[in-house]
Amino acid sequence: MSNEEKQQVDETFVTPWNLAIYYRRIFPSHIYCKWLAYGEPATCSQFAQREFSFTLENDVYRRYLSFSNHMEFEKELIKLCPEKIDIGAVYSAKPKDHKMLSAAQFYPIERELVFDIDMTDYDDVRFCCRGADICSKCWTLMRFAMQIMDRVLHEDFGFEHRLWIYSGRRGVHCWVCDQTARELQSSIRQAIVEHITIVTGGKDSSKRVTLYTPLHPSLQRAREIILTEFDGYACLKQDFLGDDQRIERFLRLVPDDNILFFLILDRNKKKEESINKVLQMISPGLDYDESKNDFLNLKFLRRQTLRELFSQLTTSAERWAAFKQHTDAMINSVTSSTKYRKSAYTTLIDEIMFEYCYPRLDANVTKGMNHLLKSPFSIHPKTGRVSIPIHLDSLAYFDPCKEGSVPKLNELCQQVEQLPKQNLPNEDGSGEKTATKQKDYNQTSLKPFIDIFARFVQQSQTSKRNETLARSDLNTMLSGEI
C-alpha cells in the first residue's frame, strides 16, 4: 500500500479500535452465518467447510480459514479484527485442514454463482472519472448493469435468490444463492458468462460489440433498459461527443466504408462507374474524379462525412440525434442489391449504446469455484465504507457518491459509542451465559441494509423442511438477538 493510500485509509478511520467496535457491536454475525448455512444448523458442513479469508493490518492475508460454528466465527472476528473479509467455496473438507489433505481429498464442492462488475472496466467509455474514482455521473453504468443482469439471471435462467451488494468503492457484486446455482460446475458457470457477455476484446479494440437481427430476447430487454436513460447519461452526464477526442473514439465504431467500397469494386468491371455507384450510396451528390487522383480520399469517407456533420453542431445531444437520423437514412436508402451494406447499419445504433452501457463482467470471478469474493458487510479498507446490500426496487435512489448514502466505519462507531452500554460479547467473543446478547446495529444507519439482508436470508431458505424455521427466525434476526 502506497503512502497516499495509507493516508486515505487513516482519513476514513479504518483503525483496529474502530474495527473492534464494529465486530463486537455491529456486524450481523448471526444473520450472516444463517445465510451461509442455508437453513441447516450452524455446525453443518455448509458452514464448517466454507473457506474465509481475512486481510489483516499491514496487508497480512490469511486464506483457508474455517469455523465450526457461529460462535467460533464471531470470536475470531473480534480477536483478529480483519480489515477485509472474503468468502470462498464450500470444500470437501474443512479448509483449515487443507495442508494435511491431498488434491483428491480437498476440492470445492459448492459455491454461489457470483458476478463482479467493476467500474474500471468502463474506463474507455466513461469520461468523468478514471481508475478507482467514481461519481454520480458514471454510477448510472452500475444501475444499467444491475437491472440488465438481474433480469437475465431471473428470466433466462430462472434464478430466484439474487443478492446485490455494493462493494464499498467502485463496483457491485451479485450472489446467486439458489441451490441449483451453488452446485453448478465451472464449465456451466463459464457458459453463463459467455451467454451474458457481448462486450469483447481489449480496451484498444476499435469495436467491441457486434449484434445480429433479430436480437435475442435478453438483448431486447437490455436495449429497453438502456434506452430509458441513454440520452441523459451519454449526452448530458458524459458529454460523449463533446470534443474531438471523444468523437474519434465514437467514430471507431462506425463501419469503415473502404471495405464496402472494395466489395462493390470487385463485383464491377468499370472502375469509375462502380466508384460513383458507391458514392451515391454513401453520400448522394458526390462524384469520383479520376483525374484528381482522389482515390485515397474515399477510404474514410463515411467517417469524414460524420466529422463534417458534427462540426456544424455544438452539443453531444445534437450530434447524437443527427447521427441517428443519418444512420436511419442510410438504412432506408439501401436497395436489395446491397443487403450486405444494410446489415452493417441496421444494428449500429444499438451496438453503440451497448458498447457504452452494457454490463462488463470479470469472467474469472464467476467461472472459478475456488475464487474468493469480498463479503457483504465487510469494510472496504481504502474507503471505510461498508459493503451493503442493494434493493433493486429502490435502485433509482441509491447513489454511493451522495454523502450519507453508504454507512462508514467511523460513523457507525460514533453512533454506537453514544448509546448506553449493554451486555455485549467480551473482547474474546465470550459473554455471560445467562444473559441475552444483543448487538446495536438496529440503532445505527446500517439498520436498513441489515433489514434487506435479513429478508433475503429468510426468502432464500426455500426447502419445505426449513421454511417454518426461516419465518419464525425473522423477528429474532431483525431485533439483533443472538
Separation of alpha carbons 464 and 3, rounded Å: 54
Before 284, cis peptide (omega within 30)?
no
Q: Could you tell me the three cell numbers for 315?
A: 452539443
The DSSP secondary-structure symbol of 438 reads B
3-class secondary structure, 38? coil
Separation of alpha carbons 236 and 242, rounded Å: 10
- Can you state the angle between helices 464-479 and 29-37, rounded to 10 degrees? 170
153: burial class by Cβ within 10 Å (0-12, 13-18, 19+)?
buried
Q: Do 458 and 471 touch, CB atoms closer than 8 A? A: yes
Separation of alpha carbons 288 and 265, rounded Å: 13
Q: 162 pairs with which residues across the strands?
A: 176
User: How far is C-alpha 338 from the geometric centre of its chain's CA atoms?
Assistant: 40
Catalytic residue (one of 83, 110, 118, 473):
118
Separation of alpha carbons 367 and 196, rounded Å: 13
Separation of alpha carbons 61 and 59, rounded Å: 6
Q: Do 290 and 274 touch, CB atoms closer than 8 A? A: no
Catalytic residue (one of 86, 116, 121, 257):
116
3-class secondary structure, 150? helix
Q: 108 pairs with which residues across the strands?
A: 91
Q: Is 51 a catalytic site residue?
A: yes
Residue owning grid cell 436511419:
328
Separation of alpha carbons 437 and 451, rounded Å: 19
Sign of CA dihedral 125, 130, 135, 141: positive
Q: 52 pairs with which residues across the strands?
A: 65, 87
Q: Report the relative pairing of strands 113-118 and 162-166 from DSSP bridges.
A: unpaired
What is the separation, in whole angstroms, between the first and last Cα of the chain? 37
Those residues with Cβ within 8 angstroms of residue 387's Cβ, 6 or more apart along the chain or in another chain: 165, 166, 167, 168, 173, 374, 375, 376, 377, 378, 379, 380
Q: Could you tell me the three cell numbers for 129?
A: 472519472
Q: Is 432 a catalytic site residue?
A: no
Question: Which candidate, 275, 305, 281, places its Cα nearest to that of 293?
Answer: 275
Catalytic residue (one of 51, 83, 86, 257):
51
Q: Is 118 a catalytic site residue?
A: yes
Separation of alpha carbons 165 and 103, rounded Å: 32
Q: Which residues are catalytic?
A: 51, 116, 118
